[in-house]
Structures are given as C-alpha cells and as structure tokens.
Copies of this chain bind each other. A is one copy, B any other.
Amino acid sequence: MSGPREPDAGRGGAGAAMHEWIARAYPICRSITGDGVRRTLELAREIVPLEVHEVPSGTAALDWTVPPEWNVREAWIAGPDGRRVVDLADHTLHLMGYSVPVRARMDRAELDAHLHSLPDQPELIPYRTSYYREAWGFCLPQRVREALPEGEYEAAIDSTLDPEGSLSYGELFLPPTTGAGAADPAAAREVLISCHVCHPSLANDNLSGLAVTLWLARALSAVERRLGWRFVWIPGTIGAIVWLARNRERAGRIAHGLVAANLGDPGRFHYKKSRRGDATIDRAVAHLLAGRAGETGVVEAPVIEDWVPYGYDERQYCSPGFDLPVGSLTRTPWGRYPEYHTSADDLSLVRPGALAGSLGLYLEVAALLEANRTYRNLSPYGEPQLGRRGLYAATGGGGEGRDRQLALLWVLNLADGEHDLLAIAERAGLPFARVEEAARDLIAAGLLEEVEPR
C-alpha cells in the first residue's frame, strides 16, 4: 500500500479544506445527543459516505443507559433592564450542556448559583455540561459576570429532554481490498479510528479530530488495503460505550486503534500508549515519532506517554474487559493548552498547516500498519548470494550503497518468522520505510515469503 502517502502531495490543499470544513461545523450546538450531532454527521457525509446510527434513549449499554435526547431552541438571561446579558444565539458555550428547561425570575444571588466563569481567564467562556444530573446553568466571562448589577433577572431555557429520542453516531467501514481479509471482510483484522463528536463550538478539542479522521478515511478509501479500517464518530464516553455494547464480538478483531483529538493546534505531537503499552500501534507510532525527532524544522521532540486511565475514549476501549490495543495520537493533549475547554478554542487556534501535518502523520501510521508484515527468509542458512541477484555492489572493498545493503542484510537476518518489519526497523535503527523497501526487493528476488504473525 504505497497509496496512503499520496495525499501528502496535496497536503497544503488538504489543510485549507479541513479548516474550511471546521469553520462550517463550528457554530453548531452539539451535545452527546440531539440534532447538533446529526447536522455535524450530515456535514461529514459530504466527505465520506458514513452511516448514521440512531440508538433509542433508554437503551441499556454495558453499565450505562442511553440518556434522553437533548435539544434546545433558545436560552438566554435577561437583566433587570430587560436586555439579554447572555444568549445561546451568541455562542453555544453560553449554555451548560444538557440544561433542563427553565423560565423563571430571580434575583442576582439566586441566578449566580447557576453561573460558571473562569476567574483566571476573565475574558473567556468556559465549557460545562451536566449530562447525568438534572441541572441548568449558563457560562459566561468572569468579566461579564462581575459587571452584572443587582436586580431581577429572567432566565429562559427552551430545551427538551426527550425519553423517546435517540443518540446518533457515525460509522464507516473500509473493508480490505486485497489479501485474506478481502475474501472474508467480516473476519478481517481491523484498525479502529475513533473520534468524539459531542463538543459544541470548540475547534481543536473535537472538530480538528473530526476533520483529520474524515480526510484520512477519504484517503484510505482510495487505496489498496489489507486491513479493515473502521471509523467511528461518536459522542464521548456514552458513544464509545454504546458502540462497544453493540460490537462486542467485533472488538475482538481490532488489531490496532487510535483515538483522535486535538490535531489542529501548532503544538508538537503526543502519543499516549494503550493499556498494553507494547502493542504494535504503540511501537508503530513511537517509531515514526522517533524518526521525526531528528527532522529538520522539528524544534520540539514528540512526546510518548504511558497509559493512564483518564482522557478520551481510550478509557473505554482499554477497560480491562476489552483491553484493546488503542492509543491516542494528538498534538497538545487535553487540558494542557490554556484555550482548552474555553471559547478561546476557536477557529484561530487551529491552523491549516497543523491539520495537514496531523493528516500526514496519520497517513504514515496507516501506511506502516498496512505494510508491517512478517516474513521468513527462504535462504536462511548463510547469506544468500545477493550479487547474482543484482542486490549487491559488485566490487568489494568500497563503501557505496551501504545503507541500502544494510537494510537488505537486516531483513534477511531477522526475517525468521518472529520479527515483523517494524521489529526489524526497531532493532536495526533504520526508518521503517527503508526496511519495507528492502523487503520488497527481497520478495521480488524470491528470498522472502510472508508468514502469519505469531
């Protein structure tokens, strides 16, 4: 599969296109259920033909229950003078997610118990939700909150919590096009790419992940695949829980997985390992990031972090009952950039170049996973004579072409049916791409056969 890297050529264009898509999805008022998610998935269908699933409220899912569907028409606070001091129409973050309906007059002190702001970031609106406890609230800048005069206020939230509603999520499966999986896609080993879709107007923490995974899916749909690629765009936590509950058997076929988020900020890449810590996906991303550490223009080394049971939906995929090989590949992780979960996580925080770079890395990971096979040297006793196969510099004693030859020798030496190409690249200290190239040359020379990985 040399294909996945091709979109890199148009990476600049892809970055701008992803940013434009994010700008269109940004104003939508999303939550873990409701029309906001549906409208977002509709926008996503412009990029790839994902399927939208609707799961009725009240459905049991593992230890959880799908909550009532939440929608809101309007929400505002009017001040003593009747003017609206906070209005959902201005910014989706102004309303606490899953606020119950309210229409009431109250004095400033009573109102204040329902307000959320950030004393340390007085200009920003925070992001708050209350999915599983009935409550209502408004979020606003600390500066605005402090300026609210005494007097009577009116709070209005025209929301619905519909027990007959449903939770929506998107899914796309790209079956294998070649190899054993192509004959029986239902039994294919799969790669899971998961992205949450439930945050309202937050550009990096949500929409950047959506854009990069959509463009990744589009790129992979156009190339040869030996693995099945399953994309899920789901509400955080409850969406992953629902998907796992509906796909318990399928989960056993997930060979690799990534949770995508925070892929548009200009920060360096961070990879958080799966619970297993040494899964192929862990080794693959670490290998590619290590190779980038020395690249020109990479001023800050990428960061590899150990598993912790906190974060995004890797929490669900890596719960001990499933223990899937799923890590999380982001730029700056959640909670570590000052704009996180505030109105400053906006369209200016995400950059076309950063989005394109993230897409490029995901494509590299995809190319590695597709190409990472296990081989057996068919001439394992002594070195095969590379010279008569045109694979060796003919005049001894010189030093040319040694790098390429070294890759050939490493593959021949370690292709014992135990080491996959990634393991060979790791031990040789060579880039995966060079090792893969050597393997292709040796296959062409009839010196390698593919074996089932152990």
List residues of chain A with CB under 8 Å of any chain B CB: 62-64, 97, 126-133, 135, 237, 240-241, 244-245, 248, 275, 308-310, 315-316, 318-323, 335, 341, 377, 379-385, 387-388, 394-399, 402, 405-406, 409-410, 412-416, 428
Output the residue of A133, A388, A397, A399 with the most chain B CB within 10 A: A397
The minimal Cβ–Cβ distance linking A203 to chain B, given in whole angstroms, is 16
Q: Are A409 and B63 in contact (CB under 8 A)?
A: no
A355 to chain B, nearest CB (A): 25
Cα–Cα distance between A377 and B321 once the two chains are bound (Å): 9
CA distance A242 to B404 in the complex (A): 26
Shortest Cβ distance from residue A429 to the other chain B in the assembled complex, whole angstroms: 9
Could you show 27 A-B contacts with beta carbons less than 8 Å apart? A62-B379, A62-B381, A62-B382, A63-B381, A63-B382, A63-B385, A64-B385, A97-B396, A128-B395, A128-B397, A128-B398, A130-B396, A132-B387, A132-B394, A244-B381, A245-B381, A309-B406, A309-B414, A310-B402, A310-B409, A315-B383, A316-B382, A319-B383, A319-B412, A319-B413, A321-B382, A322-B381
Chain B residues near A415 (CB-CB < 8 A): 320
**Is A379 within 8 A of B309, CB to CB?**
no
Beyond contacts A97-B396, A135-B395, A308-B410: 4 other A-B pairs, Cβ-Cβ < 8 A, are A130-B396, A133-B387, A319-B413, A335-B399
Question: In the docked arrangement, what's the CA distance between A402 and B310, Å?
Answer: 10
Of B97, B335, B383, B410, which one neighbours A63 at CB under 8 angstroms?
B383
Say which residue of B128, B132, B382 sits within 8 Å of A388 (CB atoms).
B132
Please judge, given known A-B contacts A132-B385, A406-B310, whether A414 and B341 are in contact too, CB under 8 Å.
no
Asked if B319 and A380 make an inter-chain contact with CB atoms under 8 angstroms apart, the answer reads yes
**Contact present for B320 and A414 (CB under 8 Å):** yes
Q: Which residues of the other chain, B, contact A383 by a CB distance below 8 angstroms?
A: 63, 237, 241, 315-316, 319
The listed residue (B126, B377, B405) touching A320 by CB distance below 8 A is B377
- Residue in contact with A241 in the complex, picked from B335, B382, B395, CB distance below 8 Å: B382
A133 and B394 in contact, given A321-B382, A382-B244 (Cβ under 8 angstroms): yes
Residue of B nearest to A98 (CB): B396
Asked if A320 and B413 sit within 8 Å, CB to CB, the answer is yes
**What's the nearest-Cβ distance from chain B to residue A37, in Å?**
17
Contact status A381-B319, CB under 8 Å: yes
* Alpha-carbon separation in the docked complex, A319 to B381 (Å): 6
Q: Which residue of B lies closest to A408 (CB)?
A: B309
* Residues A416 and B320 in contact, CB atoms below 8 Å apart: yes
Establish whether residues B382 and A128, one from each chain, have CB atoms under 8 Å apart when the complex forms. Answer: no
Question: In this complex, what residue of B is CB-closest to A236?
Answer: B396
> Judging by beta carbons under 8 Å apart, are A133 and B395 in contact?
yes
Residue with the greatest number of chain B CB neighbours at <10 A, chosen from A129, A132, A412: A132
A67 to B403, CA, bound (A): 27
Contact A380 B410 (CB under 8 A): no
CB distance from A430 to the nearest CB of B (A): 11
Q: Smallest CB–CB gap between A434 and chain B, Å?
A: 14
Chain B residues near A413 (CB, 8 Å)? 275, 309, 315, 318-320
With both chains docked as a complex, state the minimum distance between the C-beta of A39 and any C-beta of chain B, in angstroms. Answer: 22
CA distance A344 to B64 in the complex (A): 68
Chain B residues near A126 (CB-CB < 8 A): 397
- Which residues from chain B contact A245 at a C-beta distance below 8 Å? 381-382
- How many angstroms from the CA of A64 to the CA of B135 in the assembled complex? 77
Please state if B382 and A240 are interface contacts (CB–CB under 8 Å).
Answer: yes
A261 to chain B, nearest CB (A): 15
Central interface residue in A318, A321, A405, by most chain B CB within 10 Å: A321
Complex: A245 Cα to B129 Cα, angstroms: 67
Question: In the bound complex, how far is the Cα of B385 from the Cα of A387, in angstroms?
Answer: 64
